[in-house]
Amino acid sequence: MNTSHFSTSPTSRRQFVLQGLAAAGGVCLGDRLLGAAAKPAPKSETLVTTLYQSLTPEQRSKICFAFDHDLRKKVNNNWHITNQKIGAFLTADQNAMVKDIFTGLHNPEYVDKVWEQINHDNKSDGGFESSSIALFGEPGSGKFEFVLTSRHCTRRCDGDSVEGAAFGGPIFYGHAAAGFNEPADHKGNVYWYQAQRANHVFQMLDGKQRAMALADTAREEEGNKTIALTGKSKGLEGIPMTELSRDQKDEVRKVLADLLKPFRKEDSDEAMKLIEKNGFDNLSLVYYKQDDIGNDGVWDDWKLEGPSMVWYFRGAPHVHCWVHVRDHAEEA
């Protein structure tokens, strides 16, 4: 199946088509089309319901599961939740819905960057159409979730069915912009800005604080074990927020804002609400000496963690980000 129509972001494609039609049909036609495009797009949850209703019995047998199926809670850095790659398994209209569901889960101001990453990291397998999806439960029942996976991607759409879990559960994002082994500056990586902000916090620390913040060895990447929550408000790796000055804490809040920037507002707001509920001062920030690319003291691996939150940024050999935010600690 030809995947060239996924080579650019949905935003840029839509603008290109509208501009072309406007030029061909005159100002009035262009105004009508552009006006229609300005209407809010359907929510991802609405599109998930439409997608579910469009599935044939055979398709449902391959990608639909009970809500309490163990597969729903799984997360990893490079995997397929089912054996069915959407480009070959779904119809063109269904693929378009999946594309719009994915787009709708992200901040409109950042979604083009997300598409850049997805298409780049999966280009050898056919781009976005090499992704796989699964649906758990049934829309309208109060318990359903859509999950999309591929290399450097686990995303969820749950309609708040998973109570007390931001993003519907653990997610993953990443990017290998300049090959598997990225240079120290991570040139072209769409998520490296997050590490730059975190390293700015490190530069603000005094000698004693830096000693507290540094650790030798980073957590291993082991699927769901990577995002395990401790429930602890004290004794976490790194420097607790209680050891920071007000301006340093303000900068950590900017780190959180940058971490949440790629995602849609409702998910970002929910994540911050849960983090605040468990106490901002109960967070701890750690930087790992291990895997310092270029030995430049710009820490590629770091983690922000709280009693029921893990945001683990592993920048070596390229960017992997593991995310789990809940209202209380429990097994992923």
Domain count, the chain: 2
Q: How many percent of the chain have pLDDT more than 70?
A: 88
Residue 105 lies in a domain: yes
Query: Do 202 and 307 fall into the same domain?
Result: yes
Residue 96 lies in a domain: yes
* Confidence band, pLDDT 50/70/90 cuts, at residue 163: confident
Query: Do 196 and 319 fall into the same domain?
Result: yes
Query: Do 214 and 311 fall into the same domain?
Result: yes
pLDDT in tens, 298-322: 999 999 999 999 999 999 999 999 9
Residue 167 lies in a domain: no
Q: Report the amino acid identity of residue 248.
A: Q
Looking at 162, 184, 210, which one is the last position of a domain?
162
Mean pLDDT of 245-253: 98
Query: Do 145 and 197 fall into the same domain?
Result: no
Cα gap 161→172, rounded to integer Å:
19
Query: Do 218 and 273 fall into the same domain?
Result: yes
Residue 280 lies in a domain: yes
Distance of CA 198 to the CA centre of its chain: 18
Whether 33 shows a pLDDT value over 80: the answer reads no
Residue 230 lies in a domain: yes
Mean pLDDT of 61-84: 97
Residue 216 lies in a domain: yes
Residue 66 lies in a domain: yes
Give the structural domain span for 66: 42-162
Residue 197 lies in a domain: yes
